[in-house]
Structure 1
Amino acid sequence: MDVTRGDFSSPDELPDEIRDRGRDFDVIVLGGGDGTLNLAAKAVADIEMPMAVLPLGTANDFARTLMIPTDLAAACRNVVEGTDYGIDLGHCNDVYFLNVASIGLAVRACEYRSDTAKKWLGALGYVSNVYAAFRDTKPFGADVVCRGESHRLHSIQIAVGNGRYFGGGLAVSSDAALDDGTLDLYSLKPHRPGALLRMLPSLVRGPDKSIQGVQLLEGEAFEITTDRVMQINTDGEIKTETPATFRVLPGALTVKVPKAYVDQYGHAKRRRPVDGDRTR
């Protein structure tokens, strides 16, 4: 295999490098974390070339969703032996995202984040940031339009997921996937600190309709308006704000994934029910 290293001096130049030179190669290999992948994803999708991932970040939520191994040698083998697999891309206003876009607690937690804690504690490090941010996050009202229906939410956290994982291993929904052609939204109602703490195991594995205090929606697009302007965290970076339009771009990106992922979660093996509102 011939390998050519990208020629750019700052991360902001990565998308242009991919668009200018990416078609000269068989696969675009990206080494880094979710932020690096977020930066590159739209450019890779634009040139319609496959992307391979070496998970060198601290959270690696995208790689976790697709069962891409964190062992570097195994990840390199996946570059060569992996299956080309189509996945969805999320879009929020003028920003693209792979994993999750969040409003509320996650934005404050992003401000509090510690790379050291995230590296050693994974999801628990993110959870600890969320718990610390809880005291500084005021509840907010939001109007959400999905599939022609309007929903009024009272929330401290709204997450819109394209993928399954975010924050080092938290799940946006118990059945979220990167290739199901839908976005998953959960809204966490205001709770007392003790009640929030008791809910954390459910938030780590992903909320489902059995969890009291969580409102769940799924759809191809959401329109979200909040009572006050709120910042939006997309894949760990604050890049836009409300009001916001979210939509999914089905199959917009091709990624090298292990055969084990295709065998377990391949397109033909999962058909999610289309039930729209799963509010509790």
Structure 2
Amino acid sequence: MRTKPELSATIRRERRAVLVVNAHSRRGRRLYEGARARLAAAGFTLLGAYPVDRPGELEQTLAAAADLGPDLLVAGGGDGTIGTAARLLAHRDIALGLLPLGTTNNFARTVGIPLDLDAAVEVLATGKVIDVDLGLVGDMRFTNHVGIGLSADVMLRTPPRLKRATGRLAYPLTALALLTRHRPLRATVRAEGREREFVTHQLYVANGGFHAGRPITADADADDRLLVGYPVGGATRRELLRDTARNAATGHRRTLREEPFLAVRQLWLETDRPAPVEVDGELYGETPIRIGLDPNALRIMAPADRPDR
């Protein structure tokens, strides 16, 4: 493995990269052409460039791209695309370059990548390589969060026909329908000699600093060797809706020292009944689960002024 300064210098000097863009939507196809043109204009030699039209082929395409031996693998898409690339590149001597082309772009926001395509390409050309942590559930790595409760039930129960007809709108529509009959969970979190109990409809454990495109707290990061566990609301549906709105509006003013956040390196989570679990928006399994960290697992091309802990 090269050192981070060595890999940074090689990327800036040689500019050997591969490009993989989730081009499943019409917007994705259009942005693929723009991303390819911008990278070429910035002096990158693309060993391969792949628009992925079928979501089921994304992981295989990313693996084939990495096998070409680039110094930089540029992934364009939303959090699902970036998370798949991150798992593939963990502990490898290849930096991940981010082109945030999704809706919320939580991981890109966490590591300071501009959402403007031109500015994001500029980071790839002039930035530096940093290390960031990945979360761990079993053997599965994740970039952003683990969700237990309503969010996992939504992933499990959203009708495929509704997704085809309304796209991302299918998830909040399903959430509203489920909420009328959703039962709260009694969740117990054990970590570092502490035990916390929550009665809530929704519990998150985050690795990154953003959720739904908004800051979780002002000091949460993917480079701090910490997971952040927190419930959203209490036992009533009204509290869930209130805290969802509060978190979106005030996250940038809150800190990890405040209630109800629990900042730890690993934790064990169990619920009063088996509850489905989603990891970065994909169904994973059921509680109980152990969630931990893989420190400094992923190399990212980040802005030159971004701190690297």
State the TM-score, normalized to the length of structure 1.
Answer: 0.79
Could you tell me which of 215, 230, 235 is aligned with 2:275? 230
In 2, the alpha carbon distance for the partners of 1:153 and 1:196 equals: 13
Cα distance per residue 1:7-65 (max 9 Å; x no partner): 688113145325533xx211111111110111121221132321101111222111122
Tell whether 2:108 aligns with 1:49.
Answer: no
In 2, the alpha carbon distance for the partners of 1:226 and 1:160 equals: 14
> What code does the residue aligned with 1:177 have?
D
In 1, the alpha carbon distance for the partners of 2:127 and 2:174 equals: 35
CA contact (8 A) 2:79 2:105 kept: yes
- Residue in structure 2 matched with residue 16 of structure 1 by the alignment: 63
CA contact (8 A) 2:201 2:240 kept: no
Larger Rg computed on CA atoms: 2
Aligned runs of 1:151-230 on 2, under 5 Å?
Answer: 151-167=196-212, 169-204=213-248, 205-206=250-251, 215-230=260-275
In 2, the alpha carbon distance for the partners of 1:137 and 1:193 equals: 8
RMSD: 2.9
- Residue in structure 1 matched with residue 46 of structure 2 by the alignment: 3
CA contact (8 A) 2:200 2:235 kept: no
In 2, the alpha carbon distance for the partners of 1:210 and 1:239 equals: 29
CA contact (8 A) 1:18 1:44 kept: no
> What code does the residue aligned with 2:48 have?
R
Cα distance per residue 1:62-102 (max 9 Å; x no partner): 11222212222221121111111111100112321101111
- Residue in structure 1 matched with residue 191 of structure 2 by the alignment: 146
Between the aligned residues of both structures, percent identity stands at: 29
- Residue in structure 1 matched with residue 111 of structure 2 by the alignment: 66
> What code does the residue aligned with 1:186 have?
Y
State the TM-score, normalized to the length of structure 2.
Answer: 0.72
- Residue in structure 2 matched with residue 84 of structure 1 by the alignment: 129
> What code does the residue aligned with 2:60 have?
E
> What code does the residue aligned with 1:2 have?
T
Higher relative contact order (CA 8 A, sep 6+): 1
CA contact (8 A) 1:160 1:172 kept: no
In 2, the alpha carbon distance for the partners of 1:62 and 1:144 equals: 25
In 1, the alpha carbon distance for the partners of 2:173 and 2:239 equals: 15
The farther-off stretch of 245-254 and 197-206 is 197-206
In 2, the alpha carbon distance for the partners of 1:267 and 1:129 equals: 40
CA contact (8 A) 2:184 2:235 kept: no
Structure 2: 5+ residue runs without aligned partners? 1-43
Structure 1: 5+ residue runs without aligned partners? 120-124, 269-280
The farther-off stretch of 94-103 and 202-211 is 202-211
In 1, the alpha carbon distance for the partners of 2:187 and 2:75 equals: 37
CA contact (8 A) 2:153 2:276 kept: no
Deviation at 1:163, TM superposition (A): 0.0
The farther-off stretch of 191-200 and 233-242 is 191-200
